[in-house]
Amino acid sequence: MITLLNKIISVIINPLITIVLGLAVIYFLFMAFRFIREGDNSENRTQNANGMLWGLIGIAIMVSTYGIINFLLGVIGQ
């Protein structure tokens, strides 16, 4: 059972977390670029700042998910 769980995590979950983390980083950098490029337009500036915030939240969620999975695997004995 534990080897099946380990296979599922290493083959499916970890690559999925890596892909979503990469997308969150790309989204954050894209919004930061737009935030800097668009200057003083307050409506777009607020929208881009909110986008950067959501990008950071996505990054934090993916990193913490990866940490929680590794912690649980350590507790189980893998």
pLDDT (tens digit per residue) in 29-39 = 999 999 999 87
Residue of 76, 29, 66 whose CA lies nearest to 51: 29
More confident residue, 7 or 55: 55
DSSP letter for 28, please. Answer: H
H helix or E strand, kind and range, residue 67: helix 42-76
pTM: 0.81
Q: What is the pLDDT of residue 5?
A: 78
> Would you tell me the crossing angle of helices 14-38 and 42-76 to the nearest 10 degrees?
160
